[in-house]
Amino acid sequence: MSGCIEFVLNGAPRRLPPETRPGQTLLDWLRGPEAGLTGTKEGCAEGDCGACTIVAEEPDGRRTPLNACLALLGQMHGRSLRTVEGLRGADGAPHPVQRAMAEADATQCGFCTPGIVMSAWAHARPTEEDGGGAHEALAGNLCRCTGYRPILEAFSRIPEDVAPAPSPSAPSPAAPPAPAPVALPGGGRFTAGGQDFHLPENLASLLTLRAALPEAWLLAGGTDLGLRVSEHRERPPAILCLSAVPELQRLEADATGLRIGAGVTYGRLLRLVGQDAGFAPLATLLRRLGSRQIRGMGTLGGNLGTASPIGDALPPLLALGARITVASARAGERVLAADAFFTGYRRTLLAPDEVITRIDLPRPPPGAVFACEKLSKRHDQDISTLSAAFLLRIEGGTIAGARLAFGGMAATPAHAPLAEAALTGAPLADASFATAAQALARDFTPLSDWRGSAEYRAAGAAGLLRRLYWRVARPDLAMEVHAP
């Protein structure tokens, strides 16, 4: 039976009429005649500019900025949302964040301003992911007019009572932090405008629906699928959304590693690994995956489901030897090695009725070297040209084991078997890495595209491998140069 989408909007409960089409974007609905909240802008309609930023208020008080241009209306069922119109005081006075923006002259044409105000408001409290400064909070907001200096000035003026919480300190890997519980929306089914949007409430229902609806879109965060609606104006007849399935939201850490439900957002994952010294390189990489808005929606399950050769989260899964659990109503659960998961360009071992349920990520062994790398044209909010993750075991000055995984070098994220063989058993010396870097040329024949030429990719991959040696030999050296 079809129900109504319900959420809290700017503090007031809303029950949408049953004829509301569930697969439209939240942005279209907000700016449409029913809500009439046109303060939230549309710039790019592809998650890049942040003009459409709204904030989800989590039950534990955290604030998650989201791109309303990518979020589908049915996905918002059960959540609490705030738009820029919802910041003003009861007397109509602007919020202190808005005053700070005005007083710092941080707005010229003003088109980007509502989105920036919402990112600043989210930043003024612990966000879903915790940590990070104003630069990180603004990575998903494009302003063409101000040059950002006055915006940063405004961020520094946000009053102390709404100032961001300090970054958490790093406990030892033996005592990983307990992940915070997550509140889930209730399930539901919304049918209107030729679209059937299912929000199953448990894994068994999800798998039954998946078997019955093999053509339905399987929607996790929607940061890939949402583009097909916002940019390409697609209207899928059936959508199967997995965000209300509690089994996919589990997130656990112990001394052996992480168990990550396929529906856990990058933001939640980052909150966990950001406090876990054993996974520090992964946390650094995740901070560069999209923006806070994208990380508040996107999932590891979605990165695997997309199977893009440049999915940032995938090389670390290969380097650490992750295991991927998939399930179907027909065959129950099976566990697949990440090494074997990708079968070709955007193809995987996943059967049409299967859903990825969990990723088990082993902790790097004690004393091992774990490193993640990303080369992109822009430091933040940019898709990789090339990425890599490395795991080295070193015993008595010799490399006892090497797992080297690259993204952007082949049709799938892939190991570099010849370079791995060249390093294994070799002395820990610059010359060994130089030899391995030469072997990389035989491991991969990268493509040229508008992100980078084949030559650039080959040289970049070799450079990252040479840099791995310096990471081990000279951990005191700065590996990144940042603008002041």
Ligand X SMILES: Cc1cc2nc3c(=O)[nH]c(=O)nc-3n(C[C@H](O)[C@H](O)[C@H](O)COP(=O)(O)OP(=O)(O)OC[C@H]3O[C@@H](n4cnc5c(N)ncnc54)[C@H](O)[C@@H]3O)c2cc1C
Using CB under 6 A as the criterion, which residues of the chain lie in contact with ligand X when the complex forms?
46-48, 218-225, 227, 242, 262, 289-290, 294, 297-299, 301-303, 305-306, 311-313, 350, 355-356, 383
Q: Find which of ligand X, ligand FES, none residue 51 binds, CB within 5 to 8 Å per kind.
A: ligand FES
User: One symbol per residue from 110 to 129: x for binding ligand FES (CB under 6 A), - otherwise; what is it?
Assistant: xxxx----------------
CB closer to ligand X, 400 vs 411: 411
CA distance 179 to 251: 7
Residue 354 CB, nearest approach to ligand X (Å): 7
438 in Cβ contact with 445 (< 8 Å): no
Q: Is 69 in the site for ligand FES (CB under 6 A)?
A: yes
392 in Cβ contact with 398 (< 8 Å): no
Residue 39 CB, nearest approach to ligand FES (Å): 13
Q: Is 52 in the site for ligand FES (CB under 6 A)?
A: yes
Residue 228 CB, nearest approach to ligand X (Å): 9
CA distance 389 to 315: 5
Q: Return the sign of the alpha-carbon dihedral for residues 373, 377, 378, 383.
A: negative
CA distance 314 to 260: 14
Nearest to 374 by CA among 384, 360, 361: 384
Nearest to 317 by CA among 368, 257, 366: 257
Residue 472 CB, nearest approach to ligand X (Å): 26
Residue 141 CB, nearest approach to ligand FES (Å): 9
Q: Is 44 in the site for ligand FES (CB under 6 A)?
A: yes
Q: Is 24 in the site for ligand FES (CB under 6 A)?
A: no
Q: What is the dihedral of CA 84, 274, 408, 298, to 10 degrees?
A: -40
CA distances from 96 to 2, 100, 132, 147, 156 (A): 42, 6, 21, 22, 12
Judged by DSSP in three states, 358 sits in: strand
Name the pairing type of β-strands 6-9 and 80-82: parallel
Residue 291 CB, nearest approach to ligand FES (Å): 9
Q: Is 224 in the site for ligand FES (CB under 6 A)?
A: no
CB closer to ligand FES, 109 vs 277: 109
Region from 140-148, 241-249, 379-387, 435-443 binding ligand FES, contact rule CB under 6 A? 140-148
Place of tokens 């909010």: 381
Residue 311 CB, nearest approach to ligand X (Å): 4
Q: Find which of ligand FES, ligand X, none residue 220 binds, CB within 5 to 8 Å per kind.
A: ligand X
Q: Is 67 in the site for ligand FES (CB under 6 A)?
A: yes
CB closer to ligand FES, 6 vs 46: 46
Q: Is 354 in the site for ligand FES (CB under 6 A)?
A: no
Q: Find which of ligand X, ligand FES, none residue 224 binds, CB within 5 to 8 Å per kind.
A: ligand X
Q: Residue from 22, 23, 39, 50 that binds ligand FES (CB under 6 A)?
A: 50
41 in Cβ contact with 51 (< 8 Å): yes
Q: What is the dihedral of CA 329, 332, 336, 342, to 10 degrees?
A: -20
Q: Is 146 in the site for ligand FES (CB under 6 A)?
A: yes
223 in Cβ contact with 298 (< 8 Å): yes
Written as six digits, the tokens of 121 are: 């408001």
Q: Find which of ligand X, ligand FES, none residue 297 binds, CB within 5 to 8 Å per kind.
A: ligand X
> Where in 131-211 does DSSP place strands (E)?
188-192, 195-199
110 in Cβ contact with 84 (< 8 Å): no
Residue 324 CB, nearest approach to ligand FES (Å): 30
Place of tokens 């508008």: 450
CB closer to ligand FES, 39 vs 188: 39
Size of the site for ligand FES (CB under 6 A): 23
Site for ligand FES in 441-460 (CB under 6 A): none
Q: Find which of ligand X, ligand FES, none residue 239 binds, CB within 5 to 8 Å per kind.
A: none
How many CB atoms lie under 10 A from the CB of residue 392? 24
Nearest to 50 by CA among 117, 132, 1, 5: 117
The residues of the shown chain that bind ligand FES, judged by CB under 6 A, are 42-45, 47-52, 67, 69, 107-113, 143-146
